[in-house]
Amino acid sequence: MKATPSSTLIIQPYGGTIVAPTAKVYFLNDTATDVALAILDGCTAAQAAERIASTYQISASEAETDVETFLQHSDVAPLLRSASEHNWDVFGSDENTSIVEADICLTNRCNLECTYCYAESRKTGNGDLTPDQWVTAVRTLVRLGMRKATVAGGEPTLSRALFPVLGALSDKRVATQLFTNGLLVKDEIAERLADIPLNFVQVSLDSTNEEHHNRYRGPSHALALRAINLLVRFGVPVVIGANIFPDTLDEIARLAQLADSIGAKLRCNPIEARGRATSFDTRETVVNEFLASAVARGVEEASERFSNVFAEQDVRRTLETSERVCPFAKGCIAVNASAEIRPCSQADTFFQSIAPWVVTEHPKPATAEHFKTGHRGEQWG
């Protein structure tokens, strides 16, 4: 039986976070958080404005404007208006940061060795954690607030922990998405994935052209296509994940046509200078803002013909100031193959001095103090 979709409001020191059933994450400032709490308490817009005016010692007109602006948000407002029609989880405090979402790397191993792999995965690697260890880690993360998870690797289908972890996430009603290269996806795996309420499974396919796809990924084009079609046939929501190079910009429209024809979504990302891609000749790959802009234009042009094909690129929305804040400060973290919590999947590159906190060694943490700051190693417990 599939879990009942729910929305979550997490109270945080910086304000709050709404996690929607669609796995979209909305960061709220203090005022927006208080408006949301008022609406969930059954207040009308006018009553919510009275609360805001009293709390922040502002005029009634200012408070009414704040409430009206928030409730006009095209995505959040319907969730709050229908609060009585589906489940809402509300928790957290303004003293400790809760984990909101996690990128979970089940294994460092992969059956491909893509030349641009940001994770630098290889066919051999260190021993994986047991399924029981991973389930313990997932339950700990949920206790700390996690409501969204991306399960990846390496290649997650190589891990014996894949389905125990997906099952544990489903049991806790965590919005989950799975990233795979698709090579091992056959009928049995597709059927099992269809029984889990995943937001989507993303399968890597960089081009409709086999030569272009295999150039950087190795011989995998046919198997990736097989996986995509198989998952769609079993009713699994599928996103085609395409990494775009300067010489494959024309593929955006072709991939959109493919996705449209088989009932999948498409996400196109410009290749980035991360992991093994840092060794690329930049004159060849043009890994810079030009490529990002070119991909955005290609997506926009293809959207005119295939309007419902493209998956949303950025699932984190900020309903506050334009100030950019590291997602880690808002409770977004990465968990590596040893169940070590990191600020992000690139922490080993950008934050080499940070000491990890191993989830499996702390099954019952008293607080979420470990996640309050991330720039000093001793804060990790």
pLDDT in tens, 174-228: 999 999 999 999 999 999 999 999 999 999 999 999 999 999 999 999 999 999 9
Report the C-alpha gap between 122 and 15 in whole angstroms.
Answer: 40
pLDDT recorded at residue 366: 30
Tokens found for residue 91 = 């928790």
Q: Taking the domains of the chain in order of start, what are their residue ranges?
A: 6-92, 101-319
Instruction: Give the global pTM.
Output: 0.82
Q: Is the dihedral of CA 319, 323, 324, 328 positive or negative?
A: negative
pLDDT digits (tens, 9 = 90+) for 141-176: 998 889 899 999 999 999 999 999 999 999 998 999
Query: Are 203 and 217 in contact, with CB atoms under 8 Å apart?
Result: no
* Element (DSSP H or E) covering residue 196: none
Q: Which CATH class is domain 101-319?
A: alpha beta
- Residues 48-64: what's their mean pLDDT? 93
DSSP conformational letter for 126:
S
